[in-house]
Structure 1
C-alpha cells in the first residue's frame, strides 16, 4: 500500500533536487564559450598561414626576391609552430571564431616585383597592427607572444622597405 507523501516531504525533496542541480551546473557543465585567448590564437594562426602562403606564392612568382623574404618566411613558419603549440584542439568550443584575419592570401601575387614587395610590406604591417590590438584581449603570457610576433612583423616590413 503506497504511503502518502506530506507536503513538507515534497518541498524538502524539491529543495534538495534544486540544490543538487545547482551544484552540478556549477562544477560539471562545460562552458562552450571560448576564452578570449582561443579566438585570438585562432586568428593569429590563420594570419600566419596566410602570410606563409603569400610568401611562398610570391617567391615562386619572383625567384629574385631579396634574402629578407626568405628570412621572413622562415620566421613566419616558426611563429606558426609556436602558436600551434599553444592551441589545444577542442578548446575553441562551439562558438570559437577567430579574430578578423588581417592578411587574407591573394590567389596570386602581383606580376610586378615592386608591387609584390609592396603587398608583402602592407600585409606585414597589417598583421603586426592586428597582433597589437589583440594584446588587450588576452592573458599576459599570450600578450607577450603576440607582442613578439608583432615586433618581428614590423621588422619584416622595414626590411622589405629597404629591399
Structure 2
C-alpha cells in the first residue's frame, strides 16, 4: 500500500495550526472595514494588501537601520503585493505608503499630537509578525475562490518559511 501524500494546503494548514497553538494571535495590522454590499473577496484582497504593506514597512525599517541582508525577504513581500494588487480591480484602496527617504525608510508623517513611541523593531518582532501572518493565511483560505486560495497558500508558505529563515541576530 502506497502512503498518501499531503496537499500543500494540508501542509500549510498543519503548520499554521501548530503556530496558532503556540500562542500566535491575530495580526496586529488594522483591517479595512467592509461595507454591507461589498464583495467578500474584494474585502479579503484589501486586507491582504494592507497586511503586505505593513510587513514591507517593518522590513524597510530594519533595512534602513543597516540590516541589508533582509532585502531579499522584503522583495518577496513586494512581489506578493504586486500579485495581490493585480487581482483587485480599481486599485487597493488602502493607505498609501509614506514617501521614502533617501535611505529607503518611510518619512515620518507630521502630527500635531504627540504619538506614543512605536515599539523598537527587531528580528524577533519581525519573526513573530511572519508567524502570525502565516497562521492568518490558513483562516483566509476558507473565504477565497480557488485561484485566490492558491495565491494565499503560497504567500502563507513563504511567510512561514521566512519565520524560520530569518537570522537569529543582527
TMscore range, shorter length = 0.5 to 0.7
Contact 2:46 2:92 survives alignment (8 Å): no
Q: Could you tell me which runs of 5 or more consecutive residues in structure 2 were left unpaired when the two chains were aligned.
A: 1-35, 94-115
More helix per residue: 1 or 2?
1
Task: Specify the structure having the higher radius of gyration (Cα).
Answer: 1
Matched, 1:43 2:44: no
TM-score, length of structure 1 as denominator length: 0.61
Contact 1:54 1:109 survives alignment (8 Å): no
Once residues 123 and 46 of structure 1 are traced to their aligned partners in structure 2, the CA distance between those partners, rounded to angstroms, is 14
Q: Aligned residue for 1:147? A: 153
Tell me by how many angstroms 1:35 deviates: 2.2
Runs of 4+, deviation exceeding 2 Å: 106-109
Alignment coverage as a number of residue pairs: 112
SS in 1 for 2:122: helix
RMSD: 2.5
Once residues 57 and 159 of structure 1 are traced to their aligned partners in structure 2, the CA distance between those partners, rounded to angstroms, is 19
Once residues 66 and 159 of structure 1 are traced to their aligned partners in structure 2, the CA distance between those partners, rounded to angstroms, is 15
Contact 1:57 1:108 survives alignment (8 Å): no
Once residues 40 and 79 of structure 1 are traced to their aligned partners in structure 2, the CA distance between those partners, rounded to angstroms, is 14
TM-score, length of structure 2 as denominator length: 0.59
Residues 87-126 of structure 1: pairs in structure 2 closer than 5 A: 87-89=88-90, 108=118, 110=120, 116-126=122-132
SS in 2 for 1:33: coil
